[in-house]
Amino acid sequence: MSETKTKARRLRELLRDARPVVSPGIYDGYSARLVQKMGFKTAATTGAGLANSLIVQPDIGIFGLRDNVDACRHLARSVDIPLTADADTGYGNAVTVYHVVQYFEEAGIVGVNIEDQAMPKRCGHMRGKELISIAEMTRKIEAGIRAKKDQDFIINARTDAIAVEDIAGTVERVKAYSKAGADMIYVDAIRGEDDIARAVEAAGNTPVNINMGFGIRQRPTSPLIALKRLKELGVARVSAPRMLTSAAISGMRKALEVMQQCMITGELADRPDLTVSMEEITELFDYEKIAALESAFSLEEDLERKYRDKERSYVVRTGTRQ
């Protein structure tokens, strides 16, 4: 391994030293870049968010492996922070998981969630979930471990057992998945502090990941718990898979309501509080880099022709060469 730390190694160090690590759920370029710009050290793709936004379907296992990997490749290369992905059930059996892990690792992802639901899976907070056996899930974990090339790549074994087998069954699964070598245990749809404490104890030295619905109006399963309390309980990572998708829908709805009102009244409405400036968008997507590249490599006569009598704004701000 090179002297430069891999993104996977950086995430492992965060899980060890910065508990609980907060990983917002991202689903597109805007959310990915904004999470990094706001100073978060890591992020996670939300499988539900990708399925909803890209193929306009609920999170019921329709979003396929290739679509998921392709989306994650673009997201991973667009940020410098470590990014994990939601790989659902691993898209099949243990042999499938072996290939799934390699696809995501090659795409620049530093870890994947593999869950113990039966296919087709359901969103973690939906009813009607079914589970595979502990033995089958441990084989998936073992296959994922064997497949990874960077040993810091994280196999995050997710269990949805609380809704099906209650906390007793969850504890049994957490112990088995930790023994099988999972790098992290993700206990979904946690019901409270007692569940968390028992899951953390069962996991032993394996880091535990839970999700929190920060900002979600209706929380059908997991209650909100303060980060300082989660730290006391021993949680290593907190993911927030639905926060940004719900915030985006809320923001777009408010803007569209203003537009509808303008259509009714025929008047203009200036609502900068509902939007960001064009400068903020271009900064987020690093238009300055493109401007610098154009200035460095374009012919002088082409630059002169294109921008001689035009405002060079955010496209090309300088014609100087390095």
pLDDT at 222 over 50: yes
Confidence of residue 314 (pLDDT cuts 50, 70, 90): very low
Which tokens go with 178? Answer: 């930790």
Measured distance CA(69)–CA(108) in Å, rounded: 10
161-180 burial, b for 16+ CB within 10 Å, e for fewer? bbbeeebeebbebbbbbbeb
The pLDDT > 90 percentage for the chain reads: 80
Residue 183 maps to which CATH number? 3.20.20.60
Q: Residue 321: how many CB atoms within 10 A of its CB?
A: 11
Q: Which residue has the higher pLDDT, 214 or 83?
A: 83
The answer to whether residue 123 is catalytic is yes
Question: What is the reported pLDDT for 215?
Answer: 59
Return the closest-CA partner of residue 81 out of 14, 20, 30, 16.
14
- Residue that is last in its domain, among 220, 241, 262: 241
The residue range of the domain holding 230 is 7-241
Q: Which residue out of 123, 143, 196, 233 is catalytically annotated?
A: 123
Q: Is residue 51 part of a domain?
A: yes
pLDDT 10s digits, 40-89: 999 999 999 999 999 999 888 899 999 999 999 999 999 999 999 999 99
Helix, strand or coil for residue 210? strand
pTM: 0.90
Tell whether 37 and 170 lie within a shared domain. Answer: yes
Return the closest-CA partner of residue 147 out of 185, 187, 109, 173.
109
Measured distance CA(76)–CA(96) in Å, rounded: 22
- Number of structural domains (the chain) is 2
pLDDT 10s digits, 225-263: 999 999 999 999 999 999 999 999 999 999 999 999 999
